[in-house]
Amino acid sequence: MMIMENIILSLSSTSHYSSSPPPFTTSILPFKHHPSTPTPTTTLSLKSSSNSPEKPTSSAHLRRPATANKNTHNTPPPQQNLEFTKNPLKLLLNSPPPTSPPTQPTITNKLWLSNKLTPPPSPPPPPPLEDIQVQESSEFREKGKIFIGNLPLWVKKNELTEFFRQFGPIKNVILIKGHHETEMNKGFGFVIYGGSTAEKAAMKAVEFDGVEFHGRVLTVKLDDGRRMKAKTAERRRWVEGEDDVEYRSKWHEEREGSRNEFRKVLDTQPENWQAVVQSFERIKKPSRKEFGLMVNYYGRRGDMHRARETFEKMRARGIEPTVHVYTNLIHAYAVARDMEEALSCVRRMKDEGIEMSLVTHSIIVDGFAKLGNIEAAERWFKEAKERHPTLNAIIYGSIIYANCQTFNMDRAEDLVREMEEEGIDAPIDIYHIMMDGYTSIGNEDKCLIVFDRLKECGFTPSVVSYGCLMNLYIKVGKVSKAFEVSEMMKLAGIKHNMKTYSMLINGFINLEDWANAFAIFEDVIRDGLKPDVVLYNNIIRAFCGMGNMDRAVSIVEEMKRERHRPTSRTFMPIIHAFAKAGEIRKALDVFDMMRRSGCIPTVQTYNALILGLVEKCKMEKAVEVLDEMLLAGIRPNERTYTTIMDGYASVGDTGKAFEYFSRIKDEGLVLDIYTYEALLKACCKSGRMQSALAVTKEMSAKNIPRNTYVYNILIDGWARRGDVWEAADLMQQMRQEGVQPDIHTYTSFVNACCKAGDMQKATNTIAEMKRVGVKPNVKTYTTLIHGWARASLPEKALKCFEEMKQSGLKPDKAVYHCLMTSLLSRATVAESYIIAGIHRVCEEMVESGLTVDMGTAVHWSRCLRKIERTGGDLTEALQKTFPPDWNSHRNLNAASNDTGNNEGLSDDFYDDGPLYESDSDIDSDDDNAPTL
């Protein structure tokens, strides 16, 4: 009985492939009937069967014995109980056969019976390997894509497109290029049909398998997706990070190495264009990415020709450009200021169905902004708003910059407000653009407000921020304030760069403060910075302003040694300085040096030479240079003729001035405000005030507004004639038209009052100047002192002289000449304070190291003979201001015989030169760069 129980227990555990015997409980004993629920043995054995090595999933996968006796042959021995490791079959054979229990069969017996009655169907045969591969490849197959083999090696994409276009619209044609012969293909490729009928078109094309094409029998079949499957598998391996080693050919390894080297050179040596080009040429088969990087590199350098050449090479290799490559090419044209070619690229993009990106729109807006074409910039900005749902700070910065360049700060403020309403945070560059815009219009208050707002928004002021403030103060003439900003920047731990140093040097040069300009230059060298071309040009300007042109020429040679290429702006100050000094031969030598340096003379260079000659009143030489300019094939511009007109105006030759005015009209050049200023100057200098009025009427007809300089010319013209009423009428017109009088306007009006003898009005004008915040300068006081001298009131002149010194102004030679002449003229009849004033003025002149010329000394000596015939203290004091060769009696006697030169000398000293010439708008024009 015990043996039977062991056998039944073994069979029960075997039927479920349990790896270990079930626990011995009464529930698994035979002859126990549980009709409602399966036995616990069945449940346990099913759970444990999941850990069996064979892992059967159903009864169909189990091998069932035909009878109960045979079942014991397949019973695996239990592994955890040594009693079951003995062969149970031996026990079964030696024991009598068991009798069938009268109870209801168990679940195991039912399974055996069902297997015997209806054996499980045999598993289906595995599908062929080819069908599995086709089914898997079909998942990756692209609809409408066909493979074309046995192509001629020289065939092009357009020929293949024309042949297969008959079956449907083609989306793309791919020709596989050769590794070494990039101009030829490898003999196969793909055609991808597009549209809703792509699959039908591909099926029609497959029917042409075996057709002859250029002498070859084509192989045409549907794409099996192998290429996409391989890419997907490679992508999966890369994502999963499998350590499979991909063995590449030597050609691929060299190509990948040259690509990496090219990107490394771009990142580390962008300024070395030769290294960049050589590293690009070492790539045997550049891809679209490398071509795009090279176009972008040339674009940043502004080399539009090489950028276009690289672009066309890419297309010749069969690589179609994308929106990124087109954008890089457009950027190259925009940097080179050739917006017409940039727009032609845009039209080509649209023809090829490539949509413009937001970056493309930003580049075009920025390009027109740098050209000052605000209308085109606004038009493209509007198009960008229509095509793109959201804009960014870059395109807003470009359009804001465009408006700042045209001094339209109201529109710029509106754009900033619009950008903030769109939820776009303004970067620090926007603040810098706004500061630069307010600097351009001279609005110091708003510029400082933007600077304070920059710090409130959490930005740390950079060297650009401080540079904007320095530029503001330098442009408004507050160089000391700019120097304070420089010190503030140093305290903040921010070092100067070349631009900030150049600003300071330029500011001191404008003030003719050469010592501080060179001190800043020494700071540049001390900080270890290498001067650039701009800084060298400023130093050359400083030496030319000092009159040391030889040192300026040596700076040019130093530039060459430092591998800096001189520009036309390098040579213009030197040419202008030599011409102004009358050394025409040296000016022409600098011209030759300029040509040898590879810098071709331009119209601006000739203008600098002509300006220097005009300033020395050498009009014949200036006209000769103009003729040489025409022979060289360089066409004069408006500034050239205006400079010639200004020269003839200075010498009072109105006819020549009108002659060159007519040449400007005949050659179709633009008549601007500077041309009319030169013509008005000629008319007023010669006293032709009616002609001057006719010129102003023509200006009004051409809608050219009269500025402060024009009014200064007219007021000075009436002042020469002593017509104070016309001058007062012009002052009233200025106020009505909103033109603010400056120091030269008031000085000219004071001169008109003095000429007319209306000293009360002149005094009232000085008081009005101080009331409106215009501080009188030395020339204003000189004019007023001269007026008091004309009125024979030396005591008033002496009082005005003391007032000038109290205001902090230093008297110059003209003031002393005028005041001393006035005092000497009244010394014979005036009181003792005039004698004391003469002594005091003489002492100041000696302390200042001032001496008068021989003509003035002769005039003063005549006045002295009327006061002290035999000499005295006054004569001894006054002779200390005479020239060193005064003791020559021959010169004294010769001058004494001249009786008509003395009074005229005093008047000519003040009347020959117009009061407005010291601040000429013409001299400050860009084309006449030496005075910039």
- The C-alpha torsion from 206 through 207 and 213 to 219, rounded to 10°, is 50
Q: What letter represents residue 377's amino acid?
A: A
Contact predicate 625/609, CB 8 Å: yes
Distance CA(490)–CA(484), nearest Å, equals 10
pLDDT at 870: 63
**Cα–Cα distance, 851 to 857 (Å, whole number):** 9
pLDDT at position 897 over 70? no
Alpha-carbon span 522 to 402, nearest angstrom: 37
Backbone φ and ψ for 222, nearest 5 degrees, come out as -65, 145
CB 203 within 8 A of CB 221: no
Cα separation, 45 vs 42, in Å, equals: 5
> Looking at residue 457, what DSSP letter applies?
T
- Determine phi and psi for 353, rounding to 5 degrees: 80, 20
How confident is the model at residue 122, as a pLDDT? 60
The structure tokens listed for 761 are 């009005």
d(CA 189, CA 583): 75
Query: Mean pLDDT lowest for which of 200-209, 267-276, 585-594, 817-826?
Result: 817-826
Q: How far apart, in Å, are the Cα atoms of 650 and each of 229, 898, 908?
A: 86, 28, 15
CA dihedral (488, 491, 496, 499) in degrees, to 10, reads -10
Candidate from 11-15, 370-374, 445-449, 676-680 with smallest mean pLDDT: 11-15
Give CA–CA dist 574/540, Å, rounded: 8
Is residue 69 pLDDT above 70, yes or no? no
- Percent of the chain having pLDDT more than 70? 77
The β-bridge partners of 217 are: 212
Q: How far apart are CA 684 and CA 371, in angstroms?
A: 37
What is the structure's pLDDT at 254?
81
In 70-210, beta strands by DSSP E: 145-149, 170-177, 185-193
Q: How many helices (H) and strands (E) does the chain have?
A: 47, 6
- The closest alpha carbon to 850, from 815, 823, 813, belongs to 813
End-to-end CA distance of the chain: 126
* Contact partners, residue 52, CB within 8 Å, separation at least 6: 17, 18, 19
Name the DSSP class of 651: T
What is the model's pLDDT at position 900?
39
Does residue 878 contact residue 842 with C-beta atoms inside 8 Å? Answer: yes
The sign of the dihedral angle between the CA atoms of 54, 60, 63, 64 is positive
Q: What is the pLDDT of residue 917?
A: 39
CB distance 153 to 117 below 8 Å: no
Q: Are 660 and 641 in contact (CB under 8 A)?
A: yes
Angle at 700 between CA 927 and CA 718, to 5 degrees: 85
pLDDT band (50, 70, 90) for residue 887: low
pLDDT at 118 (0 to 100): 43
Distance CA 449, CA 694 (A): 46
pLDDT, the chain, mean: 76
pLDDT of residue 706: 85
Ramachandran area for residue 913 (φ above 0: left; ψ -120 to 50: alpha; else beta): beta
The residue among 885 and 34 whose pLDDT is bigger is: 885
732-758: buried (b, 16+ CB within 10 Å) or exposed (e) per residue?
eebeeeebebebbbbbbbbbbbbbbeb
The 3-state DSSP class for residue 216 equals strand
Strand 170-177 relative to strand 212-213: parallel, antiparallel, unpaired? unpaired
* Count of CB atoms situated within 10 Å of the CB of 524: 21
Dist CA 159 CA 150 (whole Å): 15
The token pair at 271 is 């300024």
Determine the Cα–Cα distance for residues 606 and 634; give it in Å rounded to an integer. Answer: 9
712 with 916: CB under 8 angstroms?
A: yes
Average pLDDT value for residue range 169-173: 90
Out of 17-21, 215-219, 379-383, 448-452, pick the least confident. Answer: 17-21
Instruction: Please tell me the least confidently modeled range out of 23-32, 254-263, 327-336, 361-370.
Output: 23-32
Q: Please give the Cα distance from 788 to 794 (Å, whole number).
A: 6
- Secondary structure letter of residue 328 according to DSSP: H
Say which residue the tokens 């003040």 belong to: 910
Work out whether the CA dihedral 564, 567, 573, 574 comes out positive or negative: positive
pLDDT value for 248 = 64
Average pLDDT over residues 162-171: 88
Residue 396's contacts (CB-CB under 8 Å, 6 or more residues apart) are 415, 416, 418, 419, 424, 430
Tens-place pLDDT, residues 95-147? 455 544 554 444 334 334 334 344 555 666 665 554 444 455 556 678 889 98
Q: Which two tokens stand for residue 300?
A: 């940043």
What pLDDT, in 10s, does the model give residues 698-746?
888 888 888 888 888 888 888 888 788 888 888 888 888 888 888 888 8
pLDDT greater at residue 330 or residue 35: 330
- 896 confidence band (pLDDT: 50, 70, 90): very low
The predicted-structure confidence for 670-691, as pLDDT tens digits, reads as follows: 888 888 888 888 888 888 888 8
| Rounded alpha-carbon distances, angstroms, from residue 920 to 459, 581, 643, 928 | 41, 20, 12, 12
Residues above pLDDT 90, as percent of the chain: 6
Question: For the ranges 10-19, 208-217, 473-482, 607-616, which has the lowest average pLDDT?
Answer: 10-19
- For 97, half-sphere exposure in the C-beta direction (CA atoms, 13 angstrom radius) is 6
8-17, 285-294, 562-571, 822-831: the lowest-pLDDT one: 8-17
- The three-state DSSP-derived secondary structure of 542-586 is HHHHHCCHHHHHHHHHHHHHCCCCCCHHHHHHHHHHHHHCCCHHH
Burial bucket for residue 892 (CB in 10 Å: 0-12, 13-18, 19+): middle
- pLDDT tens sequence across 584-643: 788 888 888 888 887 878 888 888 888 888 888 888 888 888 888 888 888 888 889 999
On the question of pLDDT at 811 being above 70, the answer is yes
Q: How many angstroms separate the CA atoms of 431 and 40, rounded?
A: 83
Q: How many CB atoms lie within 10 A of CB 252?
A: 14
Take residue 915 and report the two structure tokens written for it.
């009061």
Categorize the per-residue pLDDT at 35 as very low, low, confident or very high, splitting at 50, 70 and 90.
very low
Helix axes 794-806, 778-790, angle to 10 degrees: 170
Q: Which residue has the tokens 């075997």?
A: 14
Sheet with strand 219-222: strands edge to edge: 170-177, 185-193, 145-149, 219-222
Tell me the C-alpha distance between 248 and 760, whole Å. 100
